[in-house]
Amino acid sequence: MAITDPALRRLVWRLAVLLAILPWLALQSAAQEPRAAAFPGAQGYGAAATGWRGGEVIAVTNLEARGTGSLRDCAERDVPRVCVFQVSGTIELDEPIFAKSDLYIAGQTAPGDGIQLRNRAGATHGPIIAKDADDVVIRFLKLRPGAGDRESSTIDALTVENGTDVYLGNLSLMFASDETFAIHVSSGTSSDITLADSILAYSLDGANHPKGRHSKGALICSEEGQGYECGRISLLRNIFAHHRDRNPDIKATDIGPVEVVNNVFYDPISQFGEFYDHLGNARIAYVGNLAMTGPSTNKRATAAVELFDRVEGNDVRIFAQDNIARSCNGESDLPVLDPLAENLQTDAPIELTLAPAAASDLPGSLIRRAGDVLPDGAHRDRLDQRVITDVSECRGEVIDDPAEVDGWSDIAASDGAADRDGDLLPDAWEEAQDGLDPDRADDPWQVMDGSGMSAVETWLAELAGDA
């Protein structure tokens, strides 16, 4: 039946238009609404890694390389999940664990001295790789592969490849023979990534890399293929110590900036930061950092940041503010920026994702929180403590073999706290919470009255000392 009334026709037309655009409006609203933080106090571009929320809570019950109850069994599943440790000790690997999407590896739940991952002699890759993975959180682990007995150019302590929304925090990254930490992109996108509150140290120089001496700190946005994007990356409050160079090495595309905020860079051999334009237009914020020469440092290390403008048509810019560069004993100063970096500073500040602390507060403000350490000091082992002492007392040097620092820590195997109902929330903690019962398998995702978060997230945040 034809509608003849003009007013009614206009009304029907408007309703049709509204129904047509409602899905688009919903998508726009979802795109503009900021995502919640992964945990209280999460910062940086990777802070919204929340795809695991509401998923399975899975127990890691043994130190085996694979099989039921192993870390691999939890990390490589294809469902939203949280990995909760009921054991401490060292996991030895022949091949890497591939961290898949929608994952929270909650190392803060490990009893005793925590969890250390290392390679067996024949391994040729690092212990954990987050490849083609989104919404990943990895916290409070010791990732220390070692060189092994085979030549390899791919042994990082930790690698992210084509990952988005990734938060990595309170890690101890050591004994790598390629990069200690690497973000790679291969015909895809790596973005919205945070590495925070971690110790990156003792990369192996004269080990098994085919290029020879290769002690490296962090490589941000290495690339292969075509059509890649890499950026929106945060390096926050980390301690880098005893690497030949790449402290850090940064490239990026115009998908977004890389921010380097409140880090300590100590004792490189030949170079501190190296910033490049190889991938495209790169913007880098370098704010509130402390760079210090040490016993290993030679005369090649002439500035805290060296900038390389090599590709015609690509633009690299740096925003530098409140940085300190000096010898570790404070006897001499070092330029923060080399001459090219001085000339290519951006006119406008690059907006940061957080308010930085003062560089003059470093390294003291990092000592309590950097590395795999819980608020009560648990998990802190002799290797992380050795790095902290090195930085504080101008000691240590770049090494070729873990034996030069007395090898890996001996992490005693121990079991987790009692859990009568099997919901993975410890009995003692449930007894102290209103509404929870250690003899009833409670829903770990039920919202707690006091925190406004779910029970399992409240427990994880308390263990980690999250704000």
Alpha-carbon gap, residue 405 to 184, rounded angstroms: 29
Beta-strand relationship, 128-131 and 97-98: parallel
Rounded to the nearest integer, the mean pLDDT of the chain is 92
Q: Please check the confidence at residue 382 and state whether its pLDDT lies above 80.
A: yes
Report residue 87 as tokens.
């054991």
Condensed to tens digits (0 to 9), the pLDDT of residues 312-338 reads: 999 999 999 999 999 999 888 999 999
Provide mean pLDDT across the span 48-66: 98
110 and 77 in contact (C-beta within 8 Å)?
no
Q: What is d(CA 15, CA 5) in angstroms, rounded to the nearest whole number?
A: 16
pLDDT band at 467 (very low <50, low <70, confident <90, very high): confident
So what's the pLDDT on residue 166? 98
Which H or E run includes 386? Answer: helix 382-393
Residue indicated by tokens 């925190």: 451
337-342 long-range contacts (CB < 8 A, ≥24 apart) are: 337/303, 337/304, 337/305, 337/307, 338/302, 338/303, 338/305, 338/306, 338/307, 340/306, 340/307, 340/308, 340/309, 341/275, 341/303, 341/305, 341/306, 341/307
Helix (H) or strand (E) holding 20: helix 6-32
Give the amino acid at 27.
L
Which two tokens mark 53? 């929320």
Mean pLDDT in residue range 263-287: 97
Provide the b/e sequence for 363-376 (b: ≥16 CB within 10 Å): beebbeebbbbbee
Bridge-based pairing of strands 305-308 and 324-327 is unpaired
Candidate from 117-126, 228-237, 357-366, 441-450 with smallest mean pLDDT: 441-450
Beta bridge partners of 57: 82
- Portions of the chain given CATH number 2.160.20.10: 56-414
How do 282-287 and 128-131 pair as beta strands?
Answer: unpaired
Sign of CA dihedral 369, 374, 378, 384: negative
Fold of 56-414: Pectate Lyase C-like (2.160.20)
Q: Is the pLDDT of residue 259 over 50?
A: yes
163 has pLDDT over 80: yes
Per-residue pLDDT band for 105 (boundaries 50, 70, 90) equals: very high
Q: What is the mean pLDDT of residues 272-277?
A: 96
